[in-house]
Amino acid sequence: MRTLAGRIGARWLVLGMVLAVGTAQAGQKQVGGVDMPDSLTLQGRRIALAHMQLQKRLFFKVYVWSLYLENQPRSASEAIASNSVKRLHFRFLRNISREQLVGSLRDGLQKNPDLKQGPMADHLRVMLSSLKDVQKGEDLVITYLPGVGLEIGGGASGGAFIPGKGFADALFSVWLDAHPIFPR
């Protein structure tokens, strides 16, 4: 009997280990109570989670942002210059008014002088005009697709598209300057 029970126990142990390995391979990372997958596939291209961070205002958790990249760069400038899929994904942890969201993004993005006037400023207006009131748990997803442009979507946006790479580079440049995650 013990031998049979031992075999059954060993089988369950092996099955448990196989399931655990399968779960680990599915891969998710958690920050601030938000789970994000380790990788995604967009238009047949695999992008990997490069960074995930909780953003607070005073003592309040506001959002968790995630950066996905197709290629793993060694520096922020390499990440920006790369003509590969890039995604900024924001998961909001509280309700935020449209005015708060627009004001915060405008203040941050206008640190890049290119975004203050001309065609880039027009693109910024398109992006900001797509934003709406955010409910806790909603997302804002900003994705650059090579040869296509920047797509803005998720529950925090009515959706917008900005063609080309220039605005995407400016946006990612400001974001990665404000949130240095690569060695300088």
Query: In this predicted model, what pLDDT tens digit does every residue of 15-73 receive, in sequence order?
Result: 333 333 333 335 899 998 999 999 999 889 999 999 999 999 888 999 999 999 998 89
> One-letter amino acid identity for 156?
A
Q: Which of 62, 69, 42 is nearest to 153 (CA)?
A: 42
Whole-model pTM over 0.75: yes
Instruction: Supply 140's token pair.
Output: 């804002």
Which of 184, 172, 183, 178 lies closest to 82 in space, CA to CA? 172
> What is the rounded CA–CA span in Å between residue 140 and residue 88?
8
Tokens of 90: 């924001």
Provide mean pLDDT across the span 1-15: 44
- Round to whole Å and give the CA distance between 142 and 79: 15
Domain ranges of the chain: 28-178
Q: Which residues contact 151 (CB under 8 A, 6 or more apart)?
A: 141, 142, 143, 144, 145, 159, 160, 161
* Both tokens assigned to 107: 């203040």
Question: Is the pLDDT at 7 greater than 60, yes or no?
Answer: no
Question: Per CATH, is 28-178 categorized as 2.20.25.190?
Answer: no
DSSP 107-176: HHHTTSGGGSSHHHHHHHHHHHHTB--B-TT-EEEEEEETTTEEEEESTTBS-EEEESSHHHHHHHHHHH
pLDDT of residue 25: 37
